[in-house]
Structure 1
Amino acid sequence: MIRTRLARLRGITQQWRCEKRWRGSAEELATGERSTRNRVARSILDHGPSTVAELAGRLGLTQAAVRRHLDALVADDVVEAREQRVYGTRTRGRPAKVFALTDCGRDAFDQSYDKLAADALRWIAEQEGGEKAIAAFARARIAGQAGAYRKAVESAPPDQRTEALAKALSADGYAAVARSAPRPQQGEQLCQHHCPVAHVAEQFPQLCEAETEFFAELLGTHVQRLATIAHGDGVCTTFIPKTSHAADPSRAATNTDNASASTAGRNPA
Structure 2
Amino acid sequence: MAQVDQSETKFLRTLQRVQPATVRELVSETGVTATAVRHWLTRLGDMGLIGREAIKQTRGRPQHRYRLTDSGIRVLGDETPELAVLLWQEIQSIEDTEVRERLLARVKREFVERLGGFDQNETTDLSQRVESLRKRLESRGLMAEVTLEGDLPVIREHSCPYHAVAQIDSGICDIEQEAFAEVLGTSVELSACRLDGHRCCEFQIGSSS
TM-score higher than 0.5 here?
yes
- Map 1:30-41; keep pairs closer than 5 Å: 30=22
In structure 2, the gaps of 5 or more residues are 27-43, 51-68
How far did 1:216 drift? Answer: 1.4
2:112 aligned residue (135, 143, 164)? 143
Q: Distance in 2 between matches of 1:125 and 1:152?
A: 34
Instruction: Report SS of the residue matched to 1:212.
Output: helix
User: What secondary structure does 1:188 align onto?
Assistant: strand
Matches of 2:189 and 2:198 in 1, distance apart? 15
CA contact (8 A) 2:109 2:179 kept: no
TM-aligned CA distance change 1:146 to 1:160, over 3 Å = closer
Deviation at 1:114? 2.3
Work out which of the residue numbers 81, 84, 87 in structure 2 matches 1:120: 87
SS of 1:200's partner is: helix
Q: TM-score, normalised by structure 1?
A: 0.48
Q: Which among 204, 214, 226 is matched to residue 169 of structure 2? A: 204
Q: Secondary structure at the match of 2:93?
A: helix
The CA distance in 2 between the partners of 1:152 and 1:199, in whole Å, is 33
Kept in 2: contact 1:190–1:238 (CA 8 A): yes
Give the aligned partner of residue 77 of structure 1: 48
Q: Tell me, which stretches of 5 or more residues in structure 1 are unaligned? A: 1-10, 35-72, 80-99, 248-254, 256-269
Aligned-pair distance for 1:240? 1.1
Which structure features the higher share of helix residues? 1
What amino acid is the match of 1:77? G
Q: Aligned residue for 1:132?
A: 101
Corresponding residue for residue 29 of structure 1: 21
Amino acid at match of 2:105: A
Higher strand share: 2
TM-score under structure 2 normalisation? 0.59
Deviation digits for residues 102-146 of structure 1 (CA, Å, limit 9, x no counterpart)? 5x6511x24443222112221233247365256234313313413
Instruction: Give the aligned partner of residue 16 of structure 1.
Output: 5
Provide the residue aligned with 2:63 in structure 1.
Answer: none
Letter of the 1:113 counterpart: T
Q: Note the C-alpha offset of 1:190.
A: 0.9
Distance 2:73 2:119 in 1: 30
Matching residue within 143, 168, 181 for 1:216: 181
Q: Tell me, yes or no, if the aligned pair for 2:5 and 2:160 is still in contact at 8 Å.
A: no
1:179 equivalent among 147, 171, 184 = 147
- Cα offset for 1:192? 0.7
Looking at CA atoms only, which structure, 1 or 2, has the larger radius of gyration? Answer: 1
Q: Judging changes above 3 Å, is the alpha-carbon distance between structure 1 residues 164 and 198 closer, same or farther for their aligned structure 2 residues?
A: same
Pick 1 or 2: higher relative contact order, CA cutoff 8 A, min separation 6: 2
CA contact (8 A) 1:135 1:207 kept: no
Q: Could you tell me how far apart the structure 2 residues matched to 1:76 and 1:234 are?
A: 26
Decide whether aligned partners of structure 1 residues 165 and 29 sit closer, same or farther in structure 2, where only a CA change above 3 A counts. same
How many residues are paired up?
164
2:54 matched residue in structure 1: none
Please report how far the alpha carbon of residue 77 of structure 1 lies from its aligned counterpart in structure 2 after TM superposition.
3.1
Secondary structure of the 2:161 match is coil
